[in-house]
Amino acid sequence: MLTIERLRPDHAEALYAFELTNRAWFARSIPDRGDAYFAEFPARHAALLADDSCHFHIIRDTDGTLIGRINLIDAIDGTAELGYRIAESATGRGVAKAAVTQICHLAATTYTLTTLTAMTTVDNPASQAVLTHNAFAVVEHFTLNDRPALRYRRDLGVSG
């Protein structure tokens, strides 16, 4: 069973290690955060915590290991953009599907959001499967960093 926790100041060290350890893995399917992200990590972490329009979370495995992050970005007027990253060591176990299910419920019940959007590149079928499994539907084809991409949308019902 995985758990999702709201991002806190004391998560900084584990989150930094997670991002650094999985940097090359993430860069295969999404744009790299760049060296500045890591050089300025403490300040960036503090800024995330201060941003009231976003809801940042970490994902922990049953043993407490940080295995991912999942975020609701720009939560304004009932809508937010969903984003998530799962550690390479945790892929293929349904972690992303379960985490997205949980965050959709939180989005509807705790954050009172009514709609979520998400995007992924066309060459990321795993992320497409996660979104489709969680009742997101494709609403737009576009280009993201010179790569074909899809934008998804999910209206949140009572079940979240």
CATH of the domain at 61: 3.40.630.30
Q: Give a yes or no: residue 92 inside a domain.
A: yes
Compute the distance between CA of residue 75 and CA of residue 73 in angstroms, rounded to an integer.
Answer: 6
Q: Give a yes or no: residue 120 inside a domain.
A: yes
Domain count, the chain: 1
Full pLDDT tens readout for the chain, 160 residues: 799 999 999 999 999 999 999 999 988 877 778 888 889 999 999 999 999 999 999 999 999 999 999 999 999 999 999 999 999 999 999 999 999 999 999 999 999 999 999 999 999 999 999 999 999 999 999 998 888 999 999 999 754 4
User: How many other CB atoms are there within 10 angstroms of residue 51's CB atom?
Assistant: 12
Q: Give a yes or no: residue 53 inside a domain.
A: yes
E-assigned strand segments in 46-146: 55-60, 66-76, 79-86, 115-121, 137-144
Note down the domain range covering 39. 3-155
By three-state DSSP, how is residue 45 classified? helix
Q: Give a yes or no: residue 14 inside a domain.
A: yes
Q: Give a yes or no: residue 160 inside a domain.
A: no
The pair of three-digit structure tokens given for residue 112, joined into one six-digit string: 């009172």
